[in-house]
Amino acid sequence: MKVRVCNISFSKNTVLVNKIKKHFNDVIINQKGIRLEGQNLIDFCKDADAIVVGVEKIDASILKKLPNLKYIAKYGVGIDNIEIESCKARGVLVGWTGGVNKRSVSELTLGYMLILMRNIFSSYSNLKKLKWIKDGGNSLCNKKIGIIGVGNIGEDLIKLLSVFDCEIFANDISENPSLSKKLKFKYVSKDFLYRNSDIISIHVPLNAETKNMINMEVFNKMKKSSILINTSRGQVVSEKDLIYALKNNKIHSAALDVFENEPIENKELVNLSNIICTPHIAGNSKQAVIEMGNSAINHLINFNDEKHNQN
C-alpha cells in the first residue's frame, strides 16, 4: 500500500515516522515542512492508496485527481476539512477517532483562563520593559464559565475546572442531563451564556451554523469584563469584529489558538495588548502528537488488514 503523510507535525516526529515505515514499505512523508494544499497536495498524493492528513483540505476537486486513493487516516480531531460525502461517493474510507488530544486542548484552555484572569501576560510584558506594575487580576475561583460545545474537549475542560468551584454554563446542540448532573453544570441558551459568563470558551466544529458565530452581535451582549477563548476553529470567530470589540472595550480580553487564515496574516490582531495568541498548538503537546499519530497509523493498519481479508 502506497502511503503519503501530508501532515507537518506527524512528518517531523521521528517516533511516528519510524513506526509507520515499520508497517508499510512505500511511505513518503512531507519533508519540506510546508502545508500542502491545492496542486501541491495533489502532486504529493497523486499515486497514493492511503494518505494521512491533519488540517489539509480534502474536497471533491482534490479527490477526483487522486484516482488510486482508497483510505484517508485523520491525524488529529475534527473532520471539517474532509468532505465526507464526497469520500463516500468515491468509495474512499475515512479513519478518525475523536478525543485523542482532548487533555492537551483543555489544559491549554485552562492556562489561557489563568493567564488572562491573573494578568500574567500583561505583567510579564510590562516587567520585560522594567515596569513594576503590581496588579494580580482576579481569581478564577467562583467565576461563571460559559462553554459552547460539550464534546470530548468541553467535557474534559469542565472536569479540570471542578477544583475551582466555578459555575459552569454550557450550550450544545444536544443536551445530556445525566452528564450535567454528574459534572454539576447547567445547560443554558447561547443568549444567557453570552450575557452572564465571565469567560466564554468555544469548542465546536466549523460548519455553516458555526462560521462567524461569534460576531459583533455577540460581543454587544457580553460583559465588558469578560474573556473570550477560542481553541476550536478560527472561522468560528469574526476577527474583524473581535478586533473592534477589543479596541473599544466591548470585552476585556481574548485568547486565540486558531485563526481565519493559518499561518496567521492579521498583524493588527496579534499586536493588540489585550489578546494572547498561539500558533494552533492546543492539541499538540508531545504526548498528544504521539496519540494522534498512533491513531492514524492504527486506522491504516486496520484498513490494510480488511483489504487482505477481503482478498
Contact 144, 166 (CB under 8 A): yes
CA-to-CA distance for 125 and 116, rounded, in angstroms?
Answer: 13
Beta strand residue intervals within the chain, DSSP E: 2-5, 26-29, 50-53, 71-74, 93-95, 144-148, 167-171, 186-187, 199-202, 227-230, 253-256, 275-277
pLDDT in tens, 192-231: 999 999 999 999 999 999 999 999 999 999 999 999 999 9
Residue 66 confidence (pLDDT) above 80: yes
CB atoms within 10 A of CB 129: 7
The total of other beta-carbon atoms located within 10 Å of residue 262's CB is 13
- The boundaries of every CATH 3.40.50.720 domain in the chain are 2-98+286-310, 102-277
CA distance 157 to 178: 17
Which range has the worst mean pLDDT, 33-37, 158-162, 218-222? 33-37
Q: Which CATH number fits domain 102-277: 3.90.870.40, 3.40.50.12780, 1.10.1670.10, 3.40.50.720?
A: 3.40.50.720
Domain 2-98+286-310 - what CATH class? alpha beta
pTM of the model: 0.90
State the catalytic residues: 233, 262, 280
Residues 165 and 188 sit within 8 Å (Cβ to Cβ): no
d(CA 289, CA 304): 23
Over 90: is that where the pLDDT of 247 sits?
A: yes
CA 94 – CA 52 distance, rounded (Å): 10
H-run or E-run covering 19: helix 14-23
The H or E element that residue 210 is part of is none
pLDDT tens for each residue of 274-302: 999 999 999 999 999 999 999 999 999 99
In the block, cell 477517532 appears at 97
